[in-house]
Amino acid sequence: MNKVSYLTQEGLSKLKAELDHLKNVERPSISREISEAREKGDLSENAEYNAAKEAQAMLELKISKLEDSIANARVIDESLIDLNKVQIFNRVKIANKKNNAIMEYVIVSESEADLKAGKLSVTTPIARGLLGKKVGDVVKINVPSGTVEIEILEISR
């Protein structure tokens, strides 16, 4: 059974755009490569043909996974999200108690995660440690480099 993923409308639109690109740009391109390689003769010793067929298989797998993700996606209305505790799609301002660094993240689904844009996957240790907590809570979270103490300063949209 496939796993349901919760996305914003923006995240779903990005997945659909990527799927469209793969089907309408990448797929025809690989088909052309296969045709060109096939024209070069003996397929049993044709490295270009084998590479193009392998690329095609990888592309089809990626398309299949994207189609599954889109089919199992549920769009969340961000205006209905509770701001009393940390949940997916909340913007969370936190402070590292050890070095007083203040950071701000939006907790998002795994497919929408982009650390450079401040979008933290709900599956990361920090996000999992913050879920369900309230403003003012201090949370100890085990991360790969050890344990970090984080205070929740603000929860918003």
Span 68-105, pLDDT tens digits: 989 988 888 777 777 889 988 899 999 998 888 999 99
pLDDT band at 134 (very low <50, low <70, confident <90, very high): very high
- Backbone angles phi and psi of 72, in degrees to 5: -100, 10
What distance in Å separates the CA atoms of residue 61 and residue 55, rounded to the nearest whole number? Answer: 10
Q: Taking a C-beta distance cutoff of 8 angstroms, is the pair 22, 59 a contact? A: yes
Q: Would you state the structure tokens that stand for residue 23, as one six-digit string?
A: 């089907």
| pLDDT, mean over the chain | 88
List the domain boundaries for the chain.
5-75, 79-156
- Indicate the DSSP class of residue 26: I
pTM of this structure: 0.67
pLDDT band at 151 (very low <50, low <70, confident <90, very high): very high
- CATH fold, domain 5-75, is Helix Hairpins (1.10.287)
**pLDDT of 58 over the 60 cut:** yes
Q: What is the pLDDT averaged over residues 5-14?
A: 84
**CATH classification number, 79-156, choose in 3.40.228.10, 3.10.50.30, 3.30.1460.30, 3.50.50.60:** 3.10.50.30
User: pLDDT digits over 11-37, tens only?
Assistant: 889 899 999 999 999 999 999 988 888
